[in-house]
Amino acid sequence: MAAETGLLNAIVTGVVTGSIVALGATGLALVYDIAEVPNFAHGDLLTLGAYAALLVNKPDTVPLFDLLATGSQQVGVAGAAVLFVLSAAGVLGTVYHLGGVRALKGSWWGVDVPDGVALAVHGGIAAAVGAAVVLGAPAFEAALLFSFVLLGAVVPLLESLIFRKFREKDVELALMLIVSLAVAFVVRFGIQTIFGGEIRFYTVETTVPFLGGPLDFTLAKFFDFFLVDGGLTLAIMESRGDAVEPLLVLSYSWLELAVVGLATAGVAYAAHRRRRGTAGVVGPRLAAALSGLAVLALGGAVFWGGGTAIPETSIAATRVRTSPLRLGIVVLALLMMSALHYLLQATTLGKAMRATSDNRTLAMVRGINTRQVMMSVWIISGLFAAIGGVMLGFLFSSITINLGFNLLLAMFAGVILGGISVYGAILGSYVVGLAMEVGIFAIPGLSATYRIPVAFVVLLLVLLVKPEGIVGGS
């Protein structure tokens, strides 16, 4: 049996931590880079996203809304109607932020369409989302969708009602920082006033069918790797009582590894060549890596099957401990960041956002609707905050008033370490996550309470060598 390797476990945990930090830091970097707001309220927006999901997942725990609940996780007709209206209003409100009634009539589409068609499409999408939330409640997926669309409509109000007013007065950055701190306190204590200070948690069915049996995706699994004469064997193990039983065993021969490795390299190189002129610094490498992972997964499905016995002897063996939930968070973060990468590099809106980031005045002279760009930035920030907040509450199995605020320093560290840019924030977030987890492992005697200080030591060391950040100035 393979023995656990502390360093590998720390690296895997660091990647998970970095993914959570990146979900928050990406929206923070967008607002900081384009809207010029050091938004210290962003951590509390993650908290708001986590609490918003409770309206769907545990409506009986939400003050006032519990009057519409008919059970521990059920609402009556009136409660379902409220959820439907809020969900549909979230979709329509998000579109409205892009240009008012004209946006609802399709002005943001980039193509000329009849007003009635655009209104019908937007109304249909809103109704479909509302129905999905109502019919899916109280499932975790429905709660996540509800929080997603609600914050997409609510967060841009901070720009239109508060930050835009101060920006039009050409205030100093320091004053904008103080304003964002004030907003943070209003949001945090507003949540506490409504929900109270008690610790809350989601109720989620964590057991799913897997290979003919139940699988709890929140419990830790052992991933054993065996290097043998014939190739590589991967075994996914689960602890059941005193026994450790294999859930899945996959064997890779050297020939199969070579074929998939060459295919992965080929697709990665093709993706890099295709995107190198438009994707910036991290973009082509991210696209190449994701393409390579896709080919690797396809190769695994074609070449390998389960049921192979665990080798009794091996040249080398190691074990990594993690859970499907943590791996799912990494995948979700990569999907969200890939979608943002596509938006920034392959759409007209993304080009307008990059132009506004470089020089807002010049962008306005060139005819770019900078107000629409600003609202788009805040919408994206709200969407990332919703996903990050809900997944943070699910991962930690508890929701508190300080849930997002406790992550705020790590998010700012990731943004500054990367160089105050979107791609830099993503890279910086993973560096921070790895520093937090690997640092605790590498320095004997340090407890988990020192994770944030260790990350800031790394931040200071990097900034001493490269003050503009990892990708700053590129």
The pLDDT of 425-443, averaged and rounded, is 88
pLDDT at res. 276: 57
d(CA 113, CA 122): 13
d(CA 313, CA 1): 9
Which residues make beta-bridge pairs with 249?
235
> 163: which DSSP letter?
I
| Percentage above 70 pLDDT, the chain | 89
Helices 324-346 + 283-303 axis angle, to 10: 130
Tokens 């009986």 correspond to 60
Predicted structure pTM score: 0.85
d(CA 296, CA 250): 13
Query: Is-contact 144 204, C-beta < 8 A?
Result: no
d(CA 141, CA 232): 36
pLDDT band of 4, cuts 50, 70, 90: low
Tokens of 201: 């948690």
* Residue 256 CA, distance from chain mean position: 33
Instruction: Say which residues have a Cβ less than 8 Å from residue 186's Cβ, sequence separation at least 6.
Output: none
Tokens 């699910």 correspond to 394
Which residues make beta-bridge pairs with 428?
none
DSSP 215-249: EETTS-EEEEEEEETTEEEEEEEEEETTEEEEEEE
Burial per residue of 307-322, b for 16 or more beta-carbon CB atoms within 10 angstroms, e otherwise: ebebbeebeebbbbbb
DSSP 301-341: HHH--S-PPPPSS-SEEEEEEE-HHHHHHHHHHHHHHHHHH
Question: Coil, helix or strand for 383?
Answer: helix
Question: Coil, helix or strand for 343?
Answer: helix
pLDDT band of 296, cuts 50, 70, 90: low
The pLDDT of 51-67, averaged and rounded, is 89
d(CA 132, CA 84): 9
| Average pLDDT of the chain, as a whole number | 84
pLDDT band of 3, cuts 50, 70, 90: low
pLDDT band of 212, cuts 50, 70, 90: low
pLDDT at res. 302: 44
d(CA 344, CA 339): 9
- CA dihedral of residues 144, 397, 6, 436 (deg, nearest 10): 70
Query: Is-contact 237 245, C-beta < 8 A?
Result: yes
Q: What is the pLDDT of residues 367-382, one digit of tens each?
A: 888 888 899 999 999 9
pLDDT at res. 146: 96
pLDDT at res. 280: 45
pLDDT band of 171, cuts 50, 70, 90: confident
Amino acid identity of 423? Y
Amino acid identity of 459? L
pLDDT at res. 474: 52
d(CA 27, CA 29): 5
pLDDT band of 278, cuts 50, 70, 90: very low
pLDDT at res. 309: 77
Work out the angle at residue 261's Cα, subtended by the Cα atoms of residues 258 and 266, and round it to the nearest 5 degrees: 125
Strand pairing category for 243-253 and 231-240 = antiparallel
Ranges of each domain in the chain: 6-58+138-205+325-465, 220-322
d(CA 321, CA 303): 25
Closest CA to 381 of 148, 166, 185: 148
- In this structure, of 133-147, 171-185, 286-300, 386-400, the range with the lowest mean pLDDT score is 286-300
Closest CA to 153 of 382, 356, 334, 320: 382
Higher pLDDT, 301 or 14: 14
Query: Is-contact 343 31, C-beta < 8 A?
Result: no
Q: Is the pLDDT of residue 118 over 80?
A: yes
Measured CA distances, 187 to 95, 191, 419 (Å): 23, 6, 28
Q: How many CB atoms lie within 10 A of CB 408?
A: 21
Query: Is-contact 51 58, C-beta < 8 A?
Result: no
Higher pLDDT, 420 or 79: 79
Tokens of 32: 């900081």
Instruction: Say which residues have a Cβ less than 8 Å from residue 80's Cβ, sequence separation at least 6.
Output: 134, 137
pLDDT band of 120, cuts 50, 70, 90: very high
pLDDT band of 85, cuts 50, 70, 90: very high
Q: What CATH code is assigned to 6-58+138-205+325-465?
A: 1.10.3470
